[in-house]
Amino acid sequence: MSKRHRLHQLLQEPQIRKAGQGGGRYQTVATGFPDLDQALPGGWPIGILTELLVDLCGIGELQLLLPALIALSNHPVDPGVNPRLGTEKRIMLVAPPYVPYAPALVREGVNISRLIVAHCHRQNDVLWTMEQALRSGTCAAVLAWSKNSDERALRRLQLAVEKGACWAVLFKPARFKKQRSPAALRAHLLAAGASGISMDIFKNCNGRPQKIVVRIGGRLQFPAQSFGERGGEQKSRFGAGF
């Protein structure tokens, strides 16, 4: 078999996506923002690791994810997919910087009966906890906040999200932007005025880096703080907040 033929066969594998190839062979969940749906394209990717890098927590990054969280937390699942799950899957938040404020989430439409929050005493536990949640097959979405980054752990996360077939979002400090990562979607988030987020999508599932500004409004916000700061995790609530 010639090298050219072997390369052609390799490019037919579903895991391989060519630069500039729109859509890709993966499912998506709508972001709730038309411009962002077009940029990704189609929405947030399912079964693919997404990395969102931030300098500050509390710039509206959760507002950016809210429409998808609302949809997934209220979406019934065919019980035939996995008998263990019944008719629903969970939304897990791993090591969020603020404690979720249930009344605000309910007001926005999140089904909090499906919400699980995991607090980690050590930063080294964050990526491990996310991996276990992804592999469980019981989650529709897993969001985690990690101040550390480990390439081997990230590769395990990508394998786990492919197995769990869910929406996986990892928040990391922006200083890791130049670090190699297996995540197929990576974006640097910055505040853009009082009600917007600037997204530098420098690694995109469809192969086309883009920079866009998403107007998110101001319904759910919490005080901005450096991602590296400590002490706010258990004391503050987000949602009043979130």
Mean pLDDT, residues 95-99 taken together: 88
- Tell me, yes or no, whether 231 lies in a domain: no
Total domains present in the chain: 1
Tell me the pLDDT band of 75, cut-offs 50, 70 and 90. Answer: confident
Q: Which contiguous run of DSSP H or E holds residue 7?
A: helix 3-11
Confidence of residue 85 (pLDDT cuts 50, 70, 90): very low
User: Is 207 contained in some domain?
Assistant: yes
208 domain residue, yes or no: yes
Q: Is the pLDDT assigned to residue 67 strictly greater than 50? A: yes
Confirm whether 17 is domain-assigned. no
CATH number, domain at 178?
A: 3.40.50.300
Q: Which residues have CB under 8 Å from 2's CB, separation 6+?
A: none
Q: What pLDDT score does 70 carry?
A: 95
pLDDT in tens, 183-216: 999 999 999 887 899 999 999 987 689 999 999 8
DSSP code of residue 83: G
Q: Is 9 within the bounds of a domain? A: no
Is pLDDT larger for residue 230 or for residue 32? 32
Q: Which domain holds residue 133?
A: 30-222
Task: Number of helices (H) and strands (E) in the chain: give both, helices first.
Answer: 6, 14
Q: Is 74 contained in some domain? A: yes
For the cut 70, the answer to whether the pLDDT of residue 163 exceeds it is: yes
* Burial per residue of 92-123, b for 16 or more beta-carbon CB atoms within 10 angstroms, e otherwise: bbbbbbbbbbeebbeebebbeebbeebebeee
- The answer to whether residue 25 sits within a structural domain is no
Residue 52, domain member (yes or no): yes
Q: How many CB atoms lie within 10 A of CB 20?
A: 8
Q: How confident is the model at residue 236 (pLDDT cuts 50, 70, 90)?
A: very low
